[in-house]
C-alpha cells in the first residue's frame, strides 16, 4: 500500500524527520498547520504528513473516507476489535516511509512518528513493531490497537524510545480510558511512557498540545 504525503522540506540542512498521521475522515491538509507553526523552531526538520487510504468504514454506514483502519463503533470494545489487517497494512506503509528516510541518509534515531486519533493508534503500533530505532513516538487522543498481541509482536528496537501519550478527559470519540489503558500496557512492557491528561478537553488537538509537541521535539531531536 503506497501512501501519498504532504511534505514540507527542511528550511536548512535536514537532520531529522517528523511524520504526523491524521485521524479518520481527515487528511494531511488537516494538520498542515503543524509544520507552519513549528518549522521556524525546527528549521532542520522535514515534515511528512501521509494521507490514509480511502476505505469503506463500517461505523459510518459504509461511507468511503480516508481511514487507517475500519471500525464498527467508537465504544471501547469496538476500538479494541478494530480491523487488524487494516492496521498492519497501515503500519507497514508507514514503516516503508521511515525506511525511505533512512535510505536518504537520515538516521532512524532522528525520526519521530506521531499522530492524532486513528493516526495516533498507527503511530503507537509502528513504534512498537518497527525494527528502526526511532527518536520518539507521539500519540494524541489515541489507543493501542491489537493490545492482546503487543507482548508477542513488540520489537526491542524502541524499548528505550520515549513515547508521549496525551488525551482529553472528555474525549467523545476515543475514550480517556483507552488512552490510560494504552499507557498502562506500554509501561507494563517497560517502554518509556509519559502520559499527559488534559482536563475537560474533547477530541481535538489543543494549542497546549502543540506546545507539548514542540517541547517533545526539542528533547528527542535537538538541533544538530
> Which domains does the chain show, CATH number per domain?
5-219 (3.40.50.1820)
Per-residue pLDDT for the chain (224 aa), expressed as one digit of tens each?
Answer: 889 999 999 999 999 999 999 999 999 999 999 999 999 999 999 999 999 999 999 999 999 999 999 999 999 999 999 999 999 999 999 999 999 999 999 999 999 999 999 999 999 999 999 999 999 999 999 999 998 888 777 889 999 999 999 999 999 999 999 999 999 999 999 999 999 999 999 999 999 999 999 999 999 999 98
pLDDT of res. 178: 98
The dihedral over CA atoms of 77, 82, 87, 90, expressed in degrees to the nearest 10, equals: -110
Radius of gyration of the chain (CA): 16
pLDDT of res. 152: 79
Task: Give dist(CA 12, CA 31) in Å, integer.
Answer: 22
Under 8 Å between Cβ of 204 and 116: no
pLDDT of res. 1: 83
- Please say whether the dihedral angle defined by the alpha carbons of residues 201, 203, 205 and 209, taken in this order, is positive or negative: positive
List, by residue number, the catalytic residues.
117, 171, 203
Whether pTM exceeds 0.95: yes
pLDDT of res. 148: 82
Cell numbers describing residue 101? 528516510
Amino acid at each position: 500500500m503506497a501512501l501519498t504525503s504532504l511534505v514540507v522540506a527542511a528550511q536548512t540542512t535536514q537532520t531529522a524527520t517528523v511524520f504526523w498521521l491524521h485521524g479518520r475522515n481527515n487528511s494531511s491538509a488537516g494538520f498542515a498547520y503543524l509544520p507552519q507553526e513549528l518549522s521556524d523552531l525546527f528549521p532542520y526538520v522535514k515534515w511528512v504528513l501521509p494521507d490514509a487510504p480511502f476505505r469503506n468504514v463500517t461505523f459510518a454506514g459504509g461511507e468511503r473516507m480516508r481511514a487507517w483502519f475500519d471500525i464498527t463503533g467508537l465504544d471501547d470494545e469496538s476500538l479494541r476489535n478494530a480491523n487488524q489487517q487494516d492496521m498492519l497494512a497501515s503500519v507497514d506503509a508507514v514503516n516503508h516511509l521511515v525506511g525511505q528516510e533512512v535510505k536518504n541518509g537520515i538516521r532512524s534515531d532522528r525520526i519521530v512518528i506521531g499522530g492524532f486519533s486513528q493516526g495516533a493508534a498507527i503511530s503507537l503500533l509502528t513504534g512498537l513493531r518497527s525494527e528502526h530505532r526511532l527518536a520518539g513516538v507521539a500519540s494524541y487522543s489515541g489507543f493501542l490497537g491489537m493490545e492482546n498481541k503487543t507482548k508477542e509482536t513488540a520489537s526491542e528496537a524502541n524499548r528505550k524510545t520515549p513515547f508521549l501519550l496525551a488525551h482529553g478527559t472528555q474525549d467523545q470519540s476515543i475514550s480517556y480510558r483507552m488512552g490510560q489503558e494504552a499507557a498502562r500496557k506500554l509501561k507494563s512492557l517497560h517502554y518509556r511512557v509519559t502520559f499527559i491528561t488534559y482536563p475537560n478537553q474533547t477530541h481535538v488537538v489543543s494549542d497546549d498540545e502543540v506546545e507539548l509537541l514542540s517541547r517533545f521535539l526539542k528533547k528527542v531531536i535537538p538541533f544538530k
